[in-house]
Amino acid sequence: MNAPHPDAAMRQQLYSDMAPLNLTPLWESLHALVPLKPASPCVPTLWKYEHVRPFLMRAGEAITAEEAVRRVLVLENPGLPGQSSITQSLYAGLQLILPGEVAPSHRHVQSALRFIVEGTGAYTAVNGERATMRPGDFIITPSWTFHDHGSKAAGPVVWLDGLDIPLVRFLDAGFAENDTRKSQTVMRAEGTSLARYGHNMAPVRGDGPFGLTSPIFSYPYERSREALQRLERDAPVDDWDGVKLRYINPLTGGSPMPTMATFMQRLPAGFDGRPWRQTDGAVFSVVEGHGEVLIERDGPSQRFKYGPRDHFVIPSWHTARLKSSAGCVLFSFSDRPVYQALGIHREERLS
């Protein structure tokens, strides 16, 4: 057995003596602070909707939307227990609203997206304009805008919430404010924002109403699906992504929100994708069809078979492959704009 390093006791005494001054030695933590490659604590996870939905319905019996403010079951990553996070910088949850309910108006710094999973007839209101929710629609709640949700549907409506809560928490930049009204007064006809900005045109005068966020806050699924179908028929299919499009801010061409990018993709029947990995962790919602995803990092792998309304997460720098024998449509969101703004985004498309 080797004798202790002659300087070991001296080092321990140094650490002990300087600790009251809040000093620590970098050399003891350097490899963890500057790793050779990303080592996310997040783990790949699948949430089957058939397993989650009964708990959503039970939540609907246990608490009202008004009492809860937002009746949501958080999709928490098992690698981040107690943090209400699906990745280190993203939050995701499934929100339920029942007929006649209103989730009261408030606003916050955190940017939010809504992706409609089940039901038609509920609405979200943003700064005085409502948008009716339909399955597959992508809806934005821009930072610091008053918003409420309500339902005139005959049955339950469920949507995926995606927010940059962990990122804003890390930056210590979170503010929130409750509205004095339960529901906002409707001041503009539904579809006004889409008419102004959604046809490759924009008003001659005036800037976007939501700062760095897209002036379109509701992107209908019927238009997204039509584009995917047309491209699948008339354009080459990518070996890694199938047919994949990104949602944009029409005023800038960039992401709809400054902290989150959103995508819709179609995997054609018989698609057997090549592997890829990226530094931005991504959250997926299955819109239509069935398929499977193989996710691995440093050897161990997991295979998830997914169907409509299921959700899964691919953490940072995990290698993934998508497959679908019958074809499917996937919505996803990630924190890619943050990586791109900092100049640290990396992606590898493997053979």
Task: Please tell me the predicted confidence (pLDDT) of residue 7.
Answer: 83
Paired strand residues for 262: 333
Give me the pLDDT at residue 240, please.
98
- pLDDT, tens only, 99-127: 999 999 999 999 999 999 999 999 999 99
| Cβ atoms 286, 306 nearer than 8 A | yes
Positions of the chain with pLDDT under 70: 1-6
Token pair listed for 336: 């890619």
Strands (E) across 98-215 are located at: 102-108, 112-118, 122-126, 129-132, 138-141, 147-151, 157-163, 176-178
**What integer pLDDT is reported at residue 151 of this predicted model?**
96
DSSP 242: B
pLDDT at 4: 62
Tell me the DSSP string of 272-305: EPPPEEESS-EEEEEEEE-EEEEEESSS-EEEEE
Asked whether the beta carbons of 38 and 317 are under 8 A apart, the reply is: yes
* 73/81 Cα distance (integer angstroms): 14
- Return the pLDDT at 61: 98
Percent of the chain past pLDDT 70, that is, above it, reads 98
pLDDT at 1: 58
- Residue 189 in tokens: 């006809």
Cα–Cα nearest to 285, from 95, 117, 93: 117
**CA 272 – CA 251 distance, rounded (Å):** 36
The pLDDT score that the predictor gives to residue 5 is 67
Beta carbons of 71 and 97 less than 8 angstroms apart? yes
Residue 47 φ/ψ region, left for φ over 0, alpha for ψ in the -120 to 50 degree band, beta for the rest: beta
Q: Please report, as a single letter, which amino acid is at residue 93.
A: G
Backbone phi, psi, residue 231, to 5°: -70, -40
Find residue 347's DSSP bridge partners.
Answer: 278
**The pLDDT of residue 6:** 67
Q: How many CB atoms lie within 10 A of CB 23?
A: 10
Q: Domains of the chain, with CATH numbers?
A: 40-349 (2.60.120.10)
| Structure-token pair, residue 289 | 């069809």
Residue 145: its pLDDT value, please?
96
